Amino acid sequence: MFRDRRLRLVGIYALLAIITAVGMHYSGRYVHRTPEPELAMALWGTIVGLSLVVLTVSLYTYCRLLIPRKAEHSVRGDERDRLLWERFTRFPMELFLVYVGCGMLLSQLYHFVALGLPPWPMETALGYGQSSFSNLTTFIALGVLHYGAARWMLRPSILDLRIHAQEASKFRSAGTNVIAIFVCGLVYMLVRTFWYVLNGREEDWHLRVEVMLAVGAAVFAVTLLAAVAMARYWFRDLEGMAERLRDLAGMTRGKLLSLVPIASPYESGELAAAFNALQQRIGRQYARLERDLDLAGRTQRQLLSGYERQWRGWTVQGSRAESDEIAGGFYDAVSAGDGRLALIAGSVVGDALPSALAMSALRMLVRANVQAAESAERLLTELAPALTDIAEEQLLIHLAIAFVEPELGAAEYASAGEAAVLVEREGAGESREFRSEPIGGGKRYRFDVARFSIGAGPCRIVLSAPEGAEISAGRERGEQVG
C-alpha cells in the first residue's frame, strides 16, 4: 500500500516538473522576451535542474516513507501506527522544505558556475539578486503544490492507521498555512509583474497589458486552486464529524460510540481527537452503567422471584410486573408470631442501582423489626426515621404493611405514599388507595391506617405498590380459622 503511494507521489513530482519547465519556457519567451539562443540554453538548464530536484525529492520520499522491517517487529502495533501517523503527517512539510532547499541550492550552484564567485560588478550583482529572488518565489510556489499533493496522497494511508487519540502538542494551526498559500501566490504574482515592468523599461519594450493580465490570471488560478484544495483537505474531517453528529439520533449504540480516525495534524484533527475522547468517556460511562444495571437486575431477581406458599390455610402469592427497567419495587410475607401474618409491599423510586440496593436494605430492615411490632402503624412509625436516612434526598419510598390475624378475624394495615390495599370478603369488597407523601426527599410523612374485619369465610387481602410489586394472602371457603 505504501509503495503505491510512493510511486504515485514520484509520478506527481514528474508531472509538476514538466508543467514547470513548459511554463518557465513560455514565460522566458513572452514575458521576459529572452533571445532564442539563451532561451534554448535556459530550457536545457531548467530540465537538468528540475530533473535533479525531482530525483532528490523522490529519493527522500522513498527513504522517508519506507517502513523498516526491523521496526515492524520491534515496535508494538499501536505504537508503530502512532509513529507512522507522525511521520506521514510531518512528511508534506518536510517535502516542502527539501524541495525549496534543493531547488535553491542547485540554482545557486548554476549562478556560481555561470557568474563565478563574488565580488561581482554592480550590474551582475543586481542580476544575481533578481534571479535568486525570482527562483526563490518559484520554488516556494512549487513547494506549496508538492505539499498539497503529498497531503492528499497520504490521507488514505493516515486514515487506514485508525489513530483515534493524539497529544495536543502534535497539532498545528491550519489557518497559518492557508494564509501562507495566498501570500505566496500574491508575492509571486507581484514579483513577476514587477520584473516584467522593470525589464520592459530597461529594454525599452512596449508593455503589453494582456501579458500582465495573463500572468496575474494564471498565478491567481493556481493559488486559488491550491488554497481550495488544501481547505477542502483540512475541513474534510469537520464535515465528516458534522454528518456523524447529525446521524447520532438514529444510530445503534455500536455506531453511536464509533470513533473518527485522525487524518490531519491541524484543527480538524484536534477536534477529531477531542470528539474521540468524548466518545471514549461516554463508552466508559455506558460500560459502568451496564455493570450497575446488571448488578441491580441480579439483586432484584434474587429478591423478587415470584413465589407461592401456604400459611395456616392461607395462600400467599407474590409477584412483580415484568419490566426492562431496573426499579425498587419489592414484596414480602413474614410470620410475625402470635398467629399473625405480615404482608409488605413497597417500592423505592429513584436511580436504578441505588433503588435496588435501598430496596434490599429496606426488606431486611422490615424483617428485623416485624416480630416485635405491636401493629402495622407502630411498625411503620418506628421504621420511618431509618427509612428517611436510607432514602436521603435522591430516593422516595412507598410502603404498605398489613397484619393478618385469623384468630381474631381481623386485619390492619398502614401505608405511606402511593400504596393500594384491596380487601375481598364474602359478599363484600373494599378497595382503598391512599395517596400521601412518600418517605424521603426531606419531607414530612403521614400514614394511612385502618383496621377491618375479615370474618371466618373466604377472604383475600392484596397489597400493591408502584413499580408493579404486589402480594396477596387468600383463604378459600370452608377452611378453618386459627
445 and 339 assigned to the same domain: yes
Lowest mean pLDDT among 55-59, 135-139, 191-195: 191-195
Q: Same domain for 386 and 241?
A: no
Q: Which of 256, 285, 320 lies at the terminal end of a domain, its last residue? A: 256
Do 327 and 248 lie in one domain? The reply is no
Per the model's pLDDT, the better-predicted residue between 167 and 118 turns out to be 118
Judge whether 168 lies within some domain. yes
For the ranges 90-104, 202-216, 261-275, the maximum mean pLDDT occurs at 90-104
Sorting pLDDT into bands at 50, 70 and 90, what band is 481?
Answer: very low
Which tens digit of pLDDT belongs to each residue from 265-318?
766 777 777 777 887 888 888 888 788 777 766 766 665 656 678 888 888 988
Judge whether 36 lies within some domain.
yes
The answer as to whether 161 is a domain residue is yes
Q: Measured between alpha carbons, how far is 7 from 42 in angstroms, rounded to an integer?
A: 29
State percent of the chain over pLDDT 70: 70
Query: Is the model more confident about 199 or about 13?
Result: 13
213 & 90 share domain: yes
Q: What is the pLDDT of residues 458-468, one digit of tens each?
A: 888 888 887 77
- Residues 138, 192 contacting (CB under 8 angstroms): no
Over residues 137-141, the mean pLDDT reads 81
pLDDT digits (tens, 9 = 90+) for 400-452: 889 998 888 888 888 888 878 888 877 665 655 556 678 876 666 678 888 88
Examine residue 432 and state whether it is found in any structural domain, yes or no.
yes
102 & 223 share domain? yes
215 and 145 belong to one structural domain:
yes
**8 Å CB contact between 223 and 173:** no
Say whether both 242 and 349 belong to one domain. Answer: no
**Section 6-17 average pLDDT:** 90
Residue-wise pLDDT tens digits, 340-385: 899 988 888 876 667 767 777 888 888 888 888 888 888 888 888 8
What confidence score (pLDDT) does residue 480 get? 44
Indicate the range of 58-72, 103-117, 151-165, 356-370 predicted with least confidence: 58-72
- 256, 291, 326 — which closes off a domain? 256
- Residue 250 pLDDT more than 50? yes
Domain containing residue 346: CATH number: 3.60.40.10
At residue 478, the pLDDT reads 47
Residue 218 within any structural domain of the chain:
yes
Residue with cell 414480602: 332
Question: Does residue 12 sit within a domain?
Answer: yes
Query: How does pLDDT run across 94-105, given as a tens digit for each residue?
Result: 999 999 999 999
The reply to whether the predicted model has a pTM over 0.85 is: no
Shared domain check, 330 and 413: yes
Q: What is the pLDDT of residue 97?
A: 92
Q: Are residues 234 and 336 in the same domain?
A: no
User: Do both 237 and 178 map to the same domain?
Assistant: yes
Instruction: Kindly give, in sequence order, each residue whose CB lies less than 8 Å from that of residue 460, ignoring residues fewer than 6 positions away.
Output: 422, 423, 424, 472, 473, 474, 475
The answer on pLDDT for 1 being more than 60 is no
Predicted confidence at residue 58, as pLDDT, reads 93
The predicted model gives 192-215 an average pLDDT of 66
Strand order in the sheet with 307-311: 307-311, 314-320, 469-475, 459-465, 419-425, 428-434
* Domain end among 218, 237, 256: 256
Q: Which of 379, 378, 375 is nearest to 367 (CA)?
A: 379
Residue 230 has pLDDT above 60, yes or no: yes
56-60, 187-191, 416-420: the lowest-pLDDT one: 187-191
Residues 227 and 351 both lie in one domain = no
Number of domains in the chain: 2
Residue 274 domain flag: no
Which residues span the domain enclosing 441?
306-475
Is 389 part of any domain?
Answer: yes
Together in a domain, 354 and 454: yes
